[in-house]
Amino acid sequence: MWDLNNKTAVLFGLADSGKSTLANFIGAQYGSSCLVYDTLNEYPDEPFDSYVPNDRTSIPEMEKILRQVMASGKYRLLIGDEWNRFCPSKPAPLPQAVADLNDWHAHYEIATLYICRRPVQLNQDLTDLANYLFVFNMTGKHDIDYLNDIATGLGDAVEKLPPYHFVVAPPRRKDFVIMHPVPKTFATNKTAHAITKAPGVTEGV
């Protein structure tokens, strides 16, 4: 099992690839010390905490919650879903709260896992500085080329992945490995669940 403690990671996968199932599996390992910023309202309410934003496109609301998470000391893992909504590819800058957490996550003792459908959609400061990349099957030429630029053969490996398999690329990107699917018991609930607010996290703007 990979060690995400005090580290950063990004997770890429197209719709129905298995990315939410993997995120659910990782979050479950942290239990109540994990908070999911549940942009699409699809994650279970346990064993971790979740926050469903009032406005899923609001950067001020997202930054407010991140600031609360950094100040609370309660969480050891933050999972952000659909993160390209808030941190699109350059030349767009990172929102300041995300940039601060990306630079100082070890100081706050918070691991981060940011989820996005396609590598080319996410701000490169998050991808390039991530300790781990988790990538499901990709077919788009720009995504494959981008991943091959990160590590020789990474994009080619991702393009050939069977359904629900994924690649893990550690800090030494060339040492990437192919992983088998996560058990189906960790599949997320695609039907919106009752919205609950995580302890210590107040309503968004």
pLDDT in tens, 164-181: 999 999 988 889 999 999
Alpha-carbon distance of 34 to 13, in angstroms, equals 21
pLDDT in tens, 95-118: 999 999 999 999 999 999 999 999
3-state class (DSSP) for residue 155: helix
Query: Domain 8-186, what fold?
Result: Rossmann fold (3.40.50)
Sign of the Cα pseudo-torsion (25, 27, 31, 37, in order): negative
In this model, does residue 197 exceed pLDDT 90? Answer: no
Please spell the DSSP secondary structure of 60-109, one letter per residue. Answer: HHHHHHHHHHHHH---SEEEESSGGGTSBSTTSPPPHHHHHHHHHHHHHT
What's the pTM? 0.90
1 — pLDDT class (breaks 50, 70, 90): low
pLDDT in tens, 66-98: 999 999 999 999 999 999 999 999 999 999 999
